[in-house]
């Protein structure tokens, strides 16, 4: 039985990856940080099948203890301050978690479990002001947010540990991926949740920022398989994971409201509060290397993703006595 350590197991991707690895027969260890409230809602159905251990990307000794105790075969570093907008309000904290946290974990692996294979959750946000269309592994980076800058550090330190210490360290450059488990602050889930709230008569508006931004949106459930496949390769490398399609926020809005038979123009209001100091206008990735080396292709198309998220939120809101706070 192989052992996998997942940091960020309570997040969107951590929950799907844990499910996937359990299905493959893994012993799954999840790193969780201390919190005054329960943050395991996304993995509540898995709690009998995984082991949670305390630790924090800010705390070196906690990471070394976990690596020494469990000596995992594979380490998936999904933990991060992952919301781009927040990275302008908390740039130093974002750097501590999302950038230097990667070095702390790599050091813990190198010293305490040197044979473990390492996956770093890199991001298309590193391409930022894109230097080529579509983006591939060799496209030059130009991050546009403190988050993107921090992820770029995490990417390069992963490459550096691979080259310096011959570690099996891989950077997965994942484009936006969504699901019904997406945090409510990200634009796709914000839209699907508000569509459901409007449909059930609990609110009558959705305030958004830039409707022209374009993203390459896939389904998180498809993308965690790519993470696993990367660590099964004999030779570590970096991989773009994307759908090779781009859609605007406006298109997401149109499809989501249409799914609930609503006219979006009646409800969507523009609000400068949601505009960013520097925007990423266009992302579209070409996952040709992943297809060739990993045999990976996305399974869920854009419309199916939108419908899946709206349908899930319609059910959720219908069953919710106390709706979530609006982001
Ligand atoms: P998410 O839902 O925001 O989850 C983030 C996870 O990180 C949570 O489990 C969180 O724990 C944990 N975490 C944050 N700070 C931590 C710390 N100091 N120590 C330990 N754990 C900490 O993010 P996601 O969408 O699943 O994304 C997973 C990873 O992929 C992130 O690194 C993200 O930046 C990256 N990524 C995401 C996408 C995407 O489109 N989803 C695309 C490219 C890259 P709590 O529950 O305690 O807050
Ligand atoms: N969140 C949010 N809220 N975004 C809005 C809104 C709004 O009200 N209105 C317009 N947008 C636009 C943003 O300006 C951005 O261009 C786009 O919608 C997507 O925003 P997010 O859903 O917040 O995602 P992101 O692309 O900034 O970042 C996500 O993807 C990255 C990969 O490219 C996150 O998951 C990152 O962690 C990830 O690395």
Report if residue 82 sits inside a domain.
yes
Confidence check: pLDDT of 324 > 70: no
Residue of minimum CA distance from atom 29 in ligand 2: 176
Task: Using alpha carbons, select from 146, 107, 148, 106 the residue that is nearest to residue 124.
Answer: 148
Say if CB 239 and CB 226 are below 8 A apart. yes
Question: 263 C-alpha vs ligand 1 centroid, how far in Å?
Answer: 33
Tell me the catalytic residues: 123, 125, 147
Residue whose C-alpha is closest to residue 269's, from 194, 207, 199: 207
State the pLDDT at residue 322.
64
pLDDT for 321 equals: 75
pLDDT by residue (tens digit) across 218-268? 999 999 999 999 999 999 999 999 999 999 999 999 999 999 999 999 999
Helix, strand or coil, per DSSP, at residue 195: helix
**Of all atoms in ligand 1, which is nearest to the CA of residue 122?**
44
Q: Is 203 domain-assigned?
A: no
Q: What is the pLDDT of residues 150-205, one digit of tens each?
A: 999 999 999 999 999 999 999 999 999 999 999 999 999 999 999 999 999 999 99
Within a domain: residue 29? Answer: yes
For the CA of 185, the closest atom of ligand 2 is 1
% pLDDT > 70, the chain: 98
Between CA 151 and CA 171 the distance in angstroms is 10
Cis peptide before 18 (omega within 30 of 0): no
Is residue 207 a part of any domain in this protein?
Answer: no
CA distance 199 to 176: 26
Supply the CATH number for residue 152's domain.
3.40.50.720
pLDDT band at 325 (very low <50, low <70, confident <90, very high): low
**Domain residues for 58?**
3-178+217-241
Domain total of the chain: 1
pLDDT digits over 93-145, tens only? 999 999 999 999 999 999 999 999 999 999 999 999 999 999 999 999 999 99
| Minimal-distance CA residue to ligand 2 atom 3 | 187
The answer to whether residue 188 is domain-embedded is no
In a domain, 285, yes or no: no
pLDDT score for 320 = 86
Residues 6+ apart with CB under 8 A from 286: 134, 135, 136, 240, 242, 244
Q: Tell me what pLDDT residue 279 has.
A: 98
Checking if the pLDDT of 58 tops 80, the result is: yes
pLDDT, position 119 = 99
Residue at 306 is within a domain: no
Distance CA 93, CA 32 (A): 18
């Amino acid at each position: 039985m192989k052992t996998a350590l997942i940091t960020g197991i309570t997040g969107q991707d951590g929950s799907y990856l844990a499910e996937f690895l359990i299905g493959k027969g893994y012993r799954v260890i999840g790193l969780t940080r201390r919190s005054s409230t329960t943050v395991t809602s996304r993995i509540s159905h898995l709690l009998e099948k995984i082991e949670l251990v305390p630790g924090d990307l800010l705390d070196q000794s906690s990471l070394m203890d976990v690596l020494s105790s469990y000596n995992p075969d594979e380490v998936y570093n999904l933990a991060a301050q992952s919301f781009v907008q927040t990275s302008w309000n908390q740039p130093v904290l974002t750097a501590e978690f999302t950038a230097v946290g990667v070095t702390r974990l790599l050091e813990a692996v190198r010293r305490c479990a040197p044979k473990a294979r390492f996956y770093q959750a890199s991001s298309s946000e590193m391409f930022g002001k894109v230097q080529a269309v579509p983006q591939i592994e060799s496209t030059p980076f130009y991050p546009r947010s403190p988050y993107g800058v921090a992820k770029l550090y995490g990417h390069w330190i992963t490459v550096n540990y691979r080259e310096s210490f011959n570690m099996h360290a891989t950077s997965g450059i994942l484009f936006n991926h969504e699901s019904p488990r997406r945090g409510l602050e990200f634009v796709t889930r914000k839209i699907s949740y508000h569509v459901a709230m409007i449909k059930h008569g609990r609110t009558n508006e959705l305030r958004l920022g830039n409707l022209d931004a374009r993203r390459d949106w896939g389904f998180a459930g498809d993308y965690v398989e790519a993470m696993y496949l990367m660590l099964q390769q004999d030779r570590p490398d970096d991989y773009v994971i994307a759908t090779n399609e781009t859609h605007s926020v406006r298109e997401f809005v149109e499809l989501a409201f249409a799914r609930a038979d609503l006219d979006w123009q009646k409800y969507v209001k523009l609000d400068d509060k949601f505009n960013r100091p520097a925007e990423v206008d266009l992302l579209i990735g070409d996952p040709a290397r992943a297809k060739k080396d990993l045999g990976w292709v996305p399974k869920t198309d854009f419309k199916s993703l939108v419908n899946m998220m709206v349908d899930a939120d319609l059910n959720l809101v219908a069953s919710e006595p106390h709706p979530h706070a609006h982001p």
